């Protein structure tokens, strides 16, 4: 007698297709946080189904091949029924949008290293805070809640703002960060932006080192204005467009190398492997940039 093939794989494929369709038809309700939390139940049920099949084969070998559903198939059905039940029970429409405000005091640090890491969303960073950090966050679903941590060792502070809950979410999501940093705190800044839009207005900060890594989307790094100290910056483009605005009255030297894309330069003169402005080497402070292009366009613009 021919052995019946398992229906577990087709059932899982049908379920995945239904979930994708549900996410497209109801973008205000994302099923993925629910699946992300409860998917281990499927492994538990499949394991129990396998144990049931083994028990049945040993106790009733003549009936093992005659059953309409195997233990694994029953396990998938039970998991899907529970998943639908969970979804219906929390069907209270769209994910709740959360708005939070957070501040961080300097706590006596003479120098601070700041790390900002966002997987996906809209990031704004600017100067002008009265404390070390003044932050405003708007996000949904709640799994996108950012994690802010700060500690001081000796005179050195370490501040980090990171996205939690991953960056892969279906449905209508929001993740907007507005961060302001203090002007009078000497600092190093490291920014990692995944997918989305970033606007970094860094003029006025007491930056000595800057590192920016961009993923997919659009980003602006605004370094225009007056600078009281030298800056060494490394900027890596991703997939999309990156615009770097540069000061006119501060010496600027840029080493720019393109990836798969183009580098557009305005207000700088090519000198060997570098681009320099008219006052490079003539001002007490200098900005030295290393720009690596990605897949897209890098714009180097000098302020009017």
Kindly report, residue by residue over 26-72, the tens digit of the pLDDT: 555 556 666 666 667 767 767 776 776 677 677 766 655 555 556 56
291 and 240 in a common domain: yes
52 and 142 in a common domain: no
274 and 137 in a common domain: yes
106 and 53 in a common domain: no
Phi, psi (degrees; rounded to nearest 5) at 92: -75, 45
Task: Let me know if residue 1 belongs to a domain.
Answer: no
74 and 36 in a common domain: yes
pLDDT > 70 in the chain, percent: 70
* Contact assessment for residue 238 and residue 295, using Cβ atoms and an 8 Å cutoff: yes
Look at the chain and report how many structural domains it folds into. Answer: 2
120 and 56 in a common domain: no
Domain end among 40, 65, 89? 89
Domain end among 23, 55, 89? 89
Domain of residue 68, residue span = 8-89
147 and 59 in a common domain: no
Task: Let me know if residue 55 belongs to a domain.
Answer: yes
286 and 187 in a common domain: yes
Task: Let me know if residue 225 belongs to a domain.
Answer: yes
Looking at mean pLDDT, say which of 4-13, 67-76, 279-288 comes out highest.
Answer: 279-288
Task: Let me know if residue 14 belongs to a domain.
Answer: yes
**pLDDT 10s digits, 13-38:** 676 667 666 666 655 555 666 666 66
Q: How much is the average pLDDT of 280-298?
A: 91
73 and 122 in a common domain: no
* Contact assessment for residue 187 and residue 111, using Cβ atoms and an 8 Å cutoff: yes
**pLDDT 10s digits, 108-143:** 999 999 999 998 889 999 999 999 999 999 998 777
294 and 262 in a common domain: yes
What pTM was computed for the model? 0.69
DSSP the chain: -PPPPPSHHHHHHHHHHHHHHHHHH-TTS-SHHHHHHHTHHHHHHHHHHHHHHHHHHHH-TTTGGG-SS-HHHHHHHHHHHHHHHHHHHT--SSPPPEEEEEEE--TT-SEEEEEEEEEEEEEEEEEEESSSEEEEEEEESGGG-EEEEEEEETTEEEEEEEE-S-S---SS-EEEEEEEEETTS-EEEEEEEEEEEEEEE-TTS-EEEEEEEEEEEEEEEE--S--SS-EEEEEE--EEEEEEEE-SSSEEEEEEE-SEEEEEEES-EEETTEEE-TTTTTSSSEEEEEEE--EEEEEEEE--
**pLDDT 10s digits, 235-255:** 998 888 889 999 999 999 999
**pLDDT 10s digits, 81-90:** 666 665 555 5
132 and 248 in a common domain: yes
Task: Let me know if residue 237 belongs to a domain.
Answer: yes
Task: Let me know if residue 2 belongs to a domain.
Answer: no
Task: Let me know if residue 3 belongs to a domain.
Answer: no
Task: Let me know if residue 288 belongs to a domain.
Answer: yes
In sequence order, the β-bridge partners of residue 241 are 218, 297
278 and 231 in a common domain: yes
Domain end among 70, 89, 108? 89
Output the average pLDDT for the chain. Answer: 82
């Amino acid at each position: 007698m021919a052995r019946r093939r398992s229906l577990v794989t087709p059932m899982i494929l049908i379920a995945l297709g239904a979930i994708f369709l549900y996410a497209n038809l109801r973008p205000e309700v994302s099923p993925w946080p629910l699946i992300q939390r409860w998917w281990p139940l499927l492994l538990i049920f499949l394991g129990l189904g396998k144990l049931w099949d083994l028990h049945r084969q040993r106790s009733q070998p003549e009936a093992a091949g005659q059953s309409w559903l195997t233990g694994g198939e029953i396990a998938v059905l039970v998991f899907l029924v529970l998943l639908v039940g969970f979804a219906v029970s929390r069907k209270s429409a769209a994910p709740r949008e959360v708005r939070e405000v957070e501040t961080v005091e300097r706590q006596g640090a003479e120098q601070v290293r700041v790390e900002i890491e966002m997987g996906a969303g809209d990031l704004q960073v600017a100067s002008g805070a009265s404390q070390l950090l003044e932050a405003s966050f708007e996000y949904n679903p709640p799994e996108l809640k950012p994690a802010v941590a700060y500690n001081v060792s000796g005179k050195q502070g370490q501040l980090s703002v990171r996205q939690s809950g991953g960056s892969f979410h279906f449905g209508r999501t929001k993740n907007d960060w507005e961060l302001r940093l203090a002007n009078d705190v000497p600092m190093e800044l490291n920014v990692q932006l995944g997918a989305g839009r970033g606007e970094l207005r860094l003029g006025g900060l007491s930056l000595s080192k800057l590192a920016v890594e961009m993923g997919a989307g659009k980003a602006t790094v605004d370094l225009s204005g007056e600078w009281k100290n030298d800056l060494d910056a490394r900027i890596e483009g991703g997939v999309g467009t990156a615009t770097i605005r540069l000061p006119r009255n501060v010496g600027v030297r840029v080493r720019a190398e393109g990836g798969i894309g183009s580098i557009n330069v305005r207000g700088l003169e090519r000198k060997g492997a570098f681009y320099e402005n008219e006052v490079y080497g003539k001002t007490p402070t200098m900005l030295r940039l290393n720009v690596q292009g990605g897949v897209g366009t890098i714009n180097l613009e000098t302020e009017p």
